[in-house]
Amino acid sequence: MHASTGTIRLYRPDPTTLTESKRYGRATYSVYPATSTRIHIAVCGDVDAVNGRSLGQYVERHTGTSRQMVLDLRAVDFFGTAGFTALYYISVHCTRRDVDWMLVGGPPVRRMLRICDTSHELPMCADIDSASARLERLALSHRRVATAG
């Protein structure tokens, strides 16, 4: 009997999933391209122990297509400690993959970050416009460093 062989996609998402939505527990995750170099991942519903890990995995699966990401958690109704853990996982992943990212959160997310992220390590922004502006400045500074080197 022969073992089946095939290709396994590592760190690069399937291009056909560039605009997909998935439901995990009581949350829905959606991704779409915001610009040619940036993706927007939006989450709505509850991020808790049931789906916190899947949030990190979802972001990991989709960050191979771009150098920047906005993680939009404004439509999150409940944000538990598993969600906070997922944010730190996302932060480490984006640092390792050289992906600039910004986080926009509603009241439940901001409340959790006030309690758990007292040193303000996570890149929280007030709204989508300020997140986009900060990412534009980061992209500009990366281009300056690349041309100076």
* pLDDT tens per residue across span 77-136: 999 999 999 999 999 999 999 999 999 999 999 999 999 999 999 999 999 999 999 999
Are the beta carbons of 27 and 46 closer than 8 angstroms?
A: yes
Are the beta carbons of 84 and 53 closer than 8 angstroms?
A: no
Asked, for residue 8, whether it belongs to a domain, the answer is no
Asked, for residue 4, whether it belongs to a domain, the answer is no
Measuring CA to CA, which residue among 132, 43, 94 is closest to residue 140? 132
The half-sphere exposure of 92 on its side-chain side, counting CA atoms within 13 A, is 7
Asked, for residue 78, whether it belongs to a domain, the answer is yes
Q: Please give the helix or strand (H or E) that residue 75 lies within, else none.
A: strand 68-79
Per-residue pLDDT of 22-44, as tens digits, reads 999 999 999 999 888 899 999 99
The domain total for the chain is 1
